[in-house]
Amino acid sequence: LLSEQEQPKKDKKGNTMTQAKAKHADVPVNTYRPNAPFVGKCISNEPLVKENGIGIVQHLKFDLSESNLKYIEGQSIGIIPPGVDKNGKPEKLRLYSIASTRHGDDVDDKTVSLCVRQLEYKHPETGETVYGVCSTHLCFLKPGDEVKITGPVGKEMLLPDDTDAKVIMMATGTGIAPMRAYLWRMFKDAEKAANQDYQFNGFAWLIFGVPTTPNLLYKEELEEMEQKYPENFRLTCAISREQKNPQGGRMYIQDRVAEHADELWKLIKEEKTHTYICGLRGMEEGIDAALTAAAAKEGVTWSDYQKQIKKAGRWHVETY
């Protein structure tokens, strides 16, 4: 006989759900929809890029104490910027990965945090500098300002329940957001006894790509965890405009993956291992190429293997 927990779960229509779906059936989604967002307040908005770094990236904290919004690590929220678009329609929501744990940065279950880069690019025809609508709105919010929040959404990037799991994280730039949530869940909340239900004793390896040293988002936090938990946390950085890859080009995270490919491949084969990729879509091809080479040494076709671990819910990608 199956225990109650093991009984196949049914969805709203009474159909039996697949294992993966059933596992995440309790994860909150769409508590606030775009037609009725939660209007929260910005508590703080701090720069993450140090002097001489490139661009603007901010750590924002919002007050959820007046809302019903609950979320877990790896989910995203939507932000609706004020104003209308070029067609005169109200601006649509943009998604942002949540950078805090379910308990929030103050470990009081009342806040949500984001890590936002102001989009800035040169218009391909006019050459004018263009700034993104929503990212600019967020990066310049002041404490006390209102912000329209939807969601939470997303079940792709959830952490496994297994506290002995091995977690490989590959992030570029603001792709660090969900990884920060995982690391806080693993190493910070536990210290504050906020999660008796999740005392992490596995291994986490973050491979993080940024353009310059002053762009190393959350540098102090990451280095502190590395020092405190050397057995459980490893940090590898790819600083593209300061370090060179073996071909003499910019050092990207796929170059770091290639450098450690055998070790990573060995880890990925373990059933306890989950891999998370977040940030620029461009990194995926290089990561696949590096792992293709490592797997081939054992006669394994990476693309087939990857399909299997995707299906098993052990390969998680959110690129934008």
The nearest distance, CB 265 to ligand FAD, in angstroms, is: 27
Q: How far apart are CA 49 and CA 30, in angstroms?
A: 32
Which one of 211, 225, 237, 265 is in contact with ligand A2P (CB under 6 A)? 211
Could you give the residue numbers annotated as active site?
A: 96-97, 278, 318, 320
Q: How far apart are CA 100 and CA 278, in angstroms?
A: 15
Q: Answer with the entry of ligand A2P, ligand FAD, none that 132 interacts with (C-beta below 5 to 8 A by kind).
A: ligand FAD
Compute the CA torsion angle 97, 100, 105, 107 (nearest 10 deg): 140
Q: Which residues lie below 8 Å from residue 47, measured CB to CB, with a gap of 6+? A: 56, 57, 58, 59
Using CB under 6 A as the criterion, what x/- string covers residues 281-300 for binding ligand A2P? -xx--x--------------
**Under 8 Å between Cβ of 97 and 78:** no
Measured from each CB, the residue nearest to ligand A2P is 173
The nearer residue to ligand A2P, 77 or 287, going by C-beta atoms, is 287
CB burial of residue 18 (10 Å; 0-12, 13-18, 19+): exposed
Bond prior to 152 in cis (omega within 30° of 0): yes
Two tokens at 144? 């006390």
The nearest distance, CB 80 to ligand FAD, in angstroms, is: 10
The nearer residue to ligand FAD, 112 or 294, going by C-beta atoms, is 112
Q: Answer with the entry of ligand FAD, ligand A2P, none that 133 interacts with (C-beta below 5 to 8 A by kind).
A: ligand FAD
The nearest distance, CB 111 to ligand FAD, in angstroms, is: 16
The nearest distance, CB 180 to ligand A2P, in angstroms, is: 14
Which one of 22, 27, 280, 293 is in contact with ligand A2P (CB under 6 A)? 280
Chain Cα centroid distance, residue 219: 16
Applying CB under 6 A, the site for ligand A2P has a residue count of 18
Scanning 17-25, 97-105, 146-154, 171-179 for contacts with ligand A2P by CB under 6 A, the matching segment is 171-179
The nearest distance, CB 250 to ligand FAD, in angstroms, is: 17
Q: Which residues pair with 273 in a beta bridge?
A: 166
φ, ψ dihedrals at 91, nearest 5°: -55, 145
The nearest distance, CB 110 to ligand FAD, in angstroms, is: 21
- Per CB under 6 A, residues contacting ligand FAD are 76, 94-97, 115-117, 119, 121, 124, 132-136, 174, 177, 318, 320
Residue ranges in 104-163 that form contacts with ligand A2P under rule CB under 6 A? 117
Q: Answer with the entry of ligand A2P, ligand FAD, none that 213 interacts with (C-beta below 5 to 8 A by kind).
A: none
If one asks whether residue 264 binds ligand A2P (CB under 6 A), the answer comes out as no
Q: Render 84-135 in DSSP notation, one character per residue.
A: B-TTSSBPPPEEEEB-S-TTTTTTSS-EEEEEEEPPEEE-TTT--EEE-HHH
| Single-letter amino acid code for the residue at 85 | D
Within 227-272, strands assigned E span 233-239
CA-angle at 21, arms to 16 and 26, nearest 5°: 100
DSSP conformation class of 49:
S
Cβ atoms within 10 A of the Cβ of 191, count? Answer: 10
Scanning 8-16, 23-31, 180-188, 250-258 for contacts with ligand A2P by CB under 6 A, the matching segment is 250-258
Residue ranges in 17-46 that form contacts with ligand A2P under rule CB under 6 A? none
**Inter-axis angle of helices 261-269 and 283-296, nearest 10:** 80
Q: Provide the binding-site residues for ligand A2P, judged by CB under 6 A.
A: 117, 172-174, 209-211, 215, 240-241, 250, 252-254, 280, 282-283, 286
